[in-house]
A = this chain, B = another copy of it.
Amino acid sequence: MAVENKQVLLKGYIETMPKETDMEVKVSEIMITNHNPPKGSSSILVKNLYLSCDPYMKARMQYYRRSYIPSFVPDQPIEGFGVSQVVNSDHPDFKAGEYVAGMTGWEEYTLISPNHTQQFRKIDLDNDIPLSYHLGLLGMPGFTAYVGFFEVCSPKKGENVFVSTASGAVGQLVGQLAKLHGCYVVGTAGSNDKVDLLKNKFGFDDAFNYKDEPNLVAALKRYFPQGIDIYFDNVGGEMLDAALRNMRNFGRIAACGILSLKNLSDPQSFYHLNNVIVKRLKIQGFIQSDYLHLFPTFLEHVTTLYKDGKLVYVEDIKEGLENAPSALVGIFSGKNIGKQVIRVV
């Protein structure tokens, strides 16, 4: 039976920031039969339920930018993390009806080839955990927060932790993990609503709207009179420079993202890089996929914390594939409040 398959395609490579018009929503057809996937293909056909909008996707919309994953293919569906249900399976590890999370297409139905199914994991339905959390709290962003904080930052109880884009998919968990670890935590975000979330929902010790601060060095000095031990950096640029100036001796900076840059090759000016030597700082870049051996530990640890009521997670869910382009574009100007997810209705 041929059914409609709504898709979000990349029209062509972009230069700097994505716009809605860089993508096209189109309806094509797909065969839903016992012969799709074909016998011997080791593939699975899935119906996508939730799709994830993540900052790293901008680099994939640009022509090969020396990123760590390949660019998207023009006129093909955008790719991203998704939570899906298996429709038909020719793969021994997956059965029709099961729920899975992994790299899928921005469309209603996707045929997942064997090399992609390797990275899929099965999800046990759990009434206490929304399926979409497997794109955030229990997915790549949550794992990024977990390994970035525990493996890269080497946190000690009582240390002072600063988090940028702190209400985002990664930051909100970094802050809560740091609090649970006994740290003093301050976050920054770009709106007063987000600052309110940080203080009153996520339990940060303090938070500020960086857009209200004419002098970031002075702002950080105010929030950290004793200095910063750990900076979890999602933005780079001017905020990183201001943090360098406010770090304590032997401080650690986890370099997780450079959201402040429109284009990764734009120059960034630093006035305080001498602090790296004077204060013996360590700046370390990391990518969560280098730590996948820790994923089961993470999943168990964070699931338990969540079920015990020690963690909360805030999502921003947009309904419908036709709204996916604006959702993706929105994360680069901070329109989302919490983890941006698309529900495929």
Contact = CB atoms under 8 A, between A and B. Distances in A.
A274 B261 contact: yes
Contacts of A133: none
Contacts of A290: 280
Contacts of A91: none
A273 B67 contact: no
A294 to B, nearest CB: 15
A158 interface: no
A268 interface: yes
A273 B287 contact: no
A199 interface: no
A279 B285 contact: yes
Contact of A66 (B265, B278, B280): B278
Contacts of A256: 277
Interface string A263-298: 011111111111111111111111100100000000
A299 interface: no
A12 interface: no
Contact of A276 (B266, B278, B283): B283
A269 B238 CA distance: 12
Secondary structure at chain A's binding surface: helix, strand, loop or mixed? loop
A165 to B, nearest CB: 14
B267 A276 contact: no
A264 B272 CA distance: 8
A67 B280 CA distance: 11
Nearest to A283: B283
Interface in A233-257: 236, 255-257
B267 A271 contact: yes
Residue from the set A67, A268, A270, A274 with the largest chain B CB neighbour count within 10 Å: A274
A84 B66 CA distance: 55
A317 interface: no
A258 B285 contact: no
Contacts of A272: 265
Nearest to A258: B274
B255 A277 contact: yes
Residue from the set A257, A277, A283 with the largest chain B CB neighbour count within 10 Å: A277
Nearest to A287: B280
Interface of A: 66-68, 236, 255-258, 261, 264-287, 290
Given A268-B270, A276-B284, A280-B284, 19 more contacts: A67-B278, A236-B274, A258-B273, A261-B274, A266-B271, A268-B269, A268-B273, A269-B270, A270-B270, A276-B283, A277-B286, A277-B287, A278-B287, A280-B285, A280-B287, A281-B284, A281-B285, A282-B283, A282-B284
7 contacts: A261-B274, A266-B271, A267-B271, A268-B269, A277-B287, A282-B282, A282-B285
